[in-house]
Chains A and B, each alone.
Chain A
């Protein structure tokens, strides 16, 4: 116990004496969180659109006005025909093309339906889907408006019994303002803390080995457990501080919701960090140079981040990948954060993942302790 205390003390002294490291540890996550929280969004604004209006009636012009009216589309070019459309898309002058064919108004009046063509640059597949949904929403609402105002002249009858459109009331729970930050900031925070934590622990033991101080420690009566604990505790505390900074920034700067219990969040964080930092320490025990350690850590981080639901939903992954993701601690913690902060979930939802993380934490630490050898065979 006392030995561990001295080891922890030494680690803190070393870390805080190195100004570069201190800057990196605290500033990189904080600065990145402040800046990048604004970047992580699929929100599409002012999509540049090219309109080919072959109808040129009040109804078709009305549609174009409707499109421009919201902040979602910006008509940058009007063309009388399709010429030049391909190049405009290729050259990225526009992202969307709306083609209104010749009998647009007539079709609506006579048949109650009319087609239009929408061509979207789906280079960035994710946005294409969103742009499409924006466009169809506008088309739908315009259609509803026309329904009330256009005279209905159907072939063979003077008036038609007008059918009421579907009275659809949609509600978005938890994030009605569609603020991407509410969704992304908790996850970003987790990622930034994880990256720094994992990198620091992964190269820590290897570094001592390379410098020669490890051997001196191995000659002492210090036990493996004391050693690992002495390495884990300082970084665990530091990571919790970074995490708290992130929460503070999230709340004060970005106004992220905190609907659930903060205590629960911290419990989850405490357990989660043991897993992540333990993994870092384990990496440090199986690699022989700092370079190797960094690469393995990098590798691991990237896989963890990509399959964590941070950027893309876990539900979108194929079933087998979702199964693999169950082994990903980041996925669980990000899920817990979002569930508790955004949805206000409680222990009934996050209890199981927390226990899972705890078990993983113990397992990983055991691995590191077993793997570390004070004497070479």
Chain B
């Protein structure tokens, strides 16, 4: 036991002496939170829109006013015809265009149908749809107010957003950030740590010592568990203080689950370290191999429900996916263990599996 603790102490000192890495490890989560929270958004605003108005009159003026004063739109120009529109779309200087017919006011007065064209840059299907929705809404509202009586039948939806009423992007991303950062950093650190020992040959020295191989690995990994926790706490503090991301549920539960997940990620790192021959391969495997799948298959940015079913299966082996559900559940929905026990169990299972695979391979290799 004393030898073991001494070993842990060595690993910790090792880590503490490397100022540059330490700074990055601590700075990293915080900076990521700040960037994510402030800069990464899915809200669509300031849409560059053009209006084609061949015969400006009172009615079209009203529409122009509404578009110009809306914060969703940025009215770039009002032109009489459609020439040159295509070039502007291609250049990206406008992303939508409203093409009005001639003599709007008169048509409205006579109750004639009013053909309006709405052109949207649909390259990005997501924002394309949202932009189209916004423009449609503004048009419909204008039309209702412009026609003489009543207007067409309409069903009005009052929408309430649960758990994230203002659709704050920060609420969406920050919980996911915890998962993402923990995954990559823990896996990376562990993989590097072990392979570095192998490369420099000090591993053999350790093996001759009375400490058992599993204890060696455990000892290596403990400083990173602590570091992972510090990272979680830092991200949480930043999330709450800077962005006001709620913590509806129990902090204790969140920390406990985070602890569990750190173990999962570390176990992943151990497995990686057993399958690669050197540090460089370990780093590439951990970073290049994990980054995109974690970003894309965990529900972090792109919703799980959108995944085609083969990928839904695949995502269930991505540990981050389960942890993300847990974090979001606890932070945004106030969920407790009663609702989250399945996900927790899955994580525990994954951790144990990974640890078993990893330590067995490690033992074989070391012998």
A–B touching in complex (CB under 8 Å): yes
Interface string of A42-70 (1 = CB under 8 A from B): 11111100000000000000010000000
12 residue pairs from A and B, CB less than 8 Å apart: A35-B311, A43-B306, A121-B163, A123-B164, A133-B129, A163-B150, A175-B124, A180-B125, A183-B125, A291-B18, A312-B41, A343-B92
Counting chain B CB atoms within 10 Å of each CB, the highest count among A32, A124, A139, A339 belongs to A124
Q: A173 to B120, Cβ gap below 8 A?
A: yes
Q: A170 to B287, Cβ gap below 8 A?
A: no
Interface string of B284-297 (1 = CB under 8 A from A): 11011101110111
Q: Of the 9-residue stretches B31-39, B214-222, B352-360, which lies at the interface with chain A?
A: B31-39
Nearest-neighbour CB distance to chain B for A327, whole angstroms, equals: 13
Is the CB of A196 closer than 8 A to any CB of chain B? yes
Cross-chain contact of A316 among B42, B118, B139, B156 (Cβ < 8 A): B42
CB within 8 Å of B: which of A122-158? Answer: 122-130, 132-133, 135-137, 139-140, 142-144, 146-147, 150, 154
Nearest-neighbour CB distance to chain B for A176, whole angstroms, equals: 6
Q: B41 to A174, Cβ gap below 8 A?
A: no
Nearest-neighbour CB distance to chain B for A208, whole angstroms, equals: 11
- Given A161-B149, A292-B21, CB of A123 within 8 Å of CB of B45: no
Q: A339 to B92, Cβ gap below 8 A?
A: yes
CB within 8 Å of A: which of B36-60? Answer: 36, 38-47
Interface string of A10-45 (1 = CB under 8 A from B): 000000000011001000110010011011111111
Is the CB of A356 closer than 8 A to any CB of chain B? no
Q: A39 to B163, Cβ gap below 8 A?
A: no
- Given A90-B339, A167-B115, A175-B123, CB of A47 within 8 Å of CB of B305: yes
Q: B156 to A116, Cβ gap below 8 A?
A: yes
Which residues of A have CB within 8 Å of B171?
A: 125
Q: B39 to A40, Cβ gap below 8 A?
A: no
Number of residues in A with C-beta < 8 Å to the partner? Answer: 124
Which residues of B have CB within 8 Å of A164?
A: 111-114, 152
Nearest-neighbour CB distance to chain A for B109, whole angstroms, equals: 11
Q: What's the Cα separation between A324 and B40 when bound, in Å? A: 12
Which residues of B have CB within 8 Å of A178?
A: 122, 125, 128-129
Cross-chain contact of B38 among A166, A203, A321 (Cβ < 8 A): A321
- Given A112-B153, A172-B128, CB of A295 within 8 Å of CB of B24: yes
Q: What's the Cα separation between A161 and B45 when bound, in Å? A: 38
Q: What's the Cα separation between A294 and B123 when bound, in Å? A: 35
Q: What's the Cα separation between A192 and B36 when bound, in Å? A: 20
Which residues of B have CB within 8 Å of A43?
A: 125, 306
Number of residues in B with C-beta < 8 Å to the partner? Answer: 113
Which residues of A have CB within 8 Å of B47?
A: 315
Q: A345 to B92, Cβ gap below 8 A?
A: yes
| Closest chain B residue to A302, Cβ basis | B32
Which residues of A have CB within 8 Å of B307?
A: 38-39, 41
Is the CB of A117 closer than 8 A to any CB of chain B? yes
- Given A20-B281, A295-B25, A296-B24, CB of A112 within 8 Å of CB of B154: yes
Q: What's the Cα separation between A318 and B154 when bound, in Å? A: 35
Which residues of B have CB within 8 Å of A119?
A: 159-162
Q: B284 to A28, Cβ gap below 8 A?
A: yes
Cross-chain contact of B90 among A63, A139, A344 (Cβ < 8 A): A344
Which residues of A have CB within 8 Å of B328?
A: 123-124
Which residues of B have CB within 8 Å of A311?
A: 40, 295, 301-302
| Closest chain A residue to B314, Cβ basis | A35
Is the CB of B276 closer than 8 A to any CB of chain A? yes
Which residues of B have CB within 8 Å of A302?
A: 32, 291
CB within 8 Å of B: which of A172-217? Answer: 172-176, 178-180, 182-183, 188, 191-192, 195-196, 199-200, 203, 207
| Closest chain A residue to B143, Cβ basis | A166
Q: What's the Cα separation between A294 and B185 when bound, in Å? A: 11
Q: What's the Cα separation between A196 and B287 when bound, in Å? A: 9
Cross-chain contact of B297 among A39, A45, A203 (Cβ < 8 A): A39
Q: B161 to A298, Cβ gap below 8 A?
A: no
| Closest chain A residue to B200, Cβ basis | A210
Interface string of A82-96 (1 = CB under 8 A from B): 000000011100010
Q: B293 to A342, Cβ gap below 8 A?
A: no
| Closest chain A residue to B168, Cβ basis | A125
Q: B296 to A39, Cβ gap below 8 A?
A: yes
Which residues of B have CB within 8 Å of A222?
A: none
Which residues of A have CB within 8 Å of B192?
A: 290-291, 294
Q: What's the Cα separation between A312 and B37 when bound, in Å? A: 12
Q: Of the 9-residue stretches B5-13, B130-138, B226-234, B256-264, which lies at the interface with chain A?
A: B130-138
Is the CB of B280 closer than 8 A to any CB of chain A? yes
Q: What's the Cα separation between A44 and B304 when bound, in Å? A: 9
User: Would you list the 5 A-B pairs with minimal beta carbon distance, nearest first?
Assistant: A172-B122, A321-B39, A122-B161, A178-B125, A133-B133
Nearest-neighbour CB distance to chain A for B165, whole angstroms, equals: 7
Is the CB of A115 closer than 8 A to any CB of chain B? yes
| Closest chain A residue to B304, Cβ basis | A124
Which residues of B have CB within 8 Å of A130?
A: 126, 129-130
Nearest-neighbour CB distance to chain A for B146, whole angstroms, equals: 10
Q: A147 to B152, Cβ gap below 8 A?
A: yes
- Given A168-B139, A169-B115, CB of A122 within 8 Å of CB of B167: yes
| Closest chain B residue to A191, Cβ basis | B292
Which residues of B have CB within 8 Å of A168?
A: 116, 118, 136, 139-140
Cross-chain contact of A306 among B35, B113, B292, B305 (Cβ < 8 A): B35
Is the CB of A338 closer than 8 A to any CB of chain B? yes
Q: What's the Cα separation between A135 and B143 when bound, in Å? A: 21
Q: What's the Cα separation between A166 and B184 when bound, in Å? A: 52
Counting chain B CB atoms within 10 Å of each CB, the highest count among A47, A160, A174, A299 belongs to A174
Q: A120 to B162, Cβ gap below 8 A?
A: yes
| Closest chain A residue to B305, Cβ basis | A44
Q: A173 to B158, Cβ gap below 8 A?
A: no
- Given A38-B308, A120-B162, CB of A348 within 8 Å of CB of B91: yes
Q: What's the Cα separation between A20 and B308 when bound, in Å? A: 31
Is the CB of A288 closer than 8 A to any CB of chain B? yes
| Closest chain A residue to B301, Cβ basis | A311
Q: What's the Cα separation between A314 and B3 when bound, in Å? A: 54
Nearest-neighbour CB distance to chain B for A335, whole angstroms, equals: 8
Q: What's the Cα separation between A172 and B151 when bound, in Å? A: 27
Which residues of B have CB within 8 Å of A228?
A: none
Which residues of A have CB within 8 Å of B188?
A: 294-295, 298
Which residues of A have CB within 8 Å of B296?
A: 36, 39-40
Q: What's the Cα separation between A348 and B328 when bound, in Å? A: 45
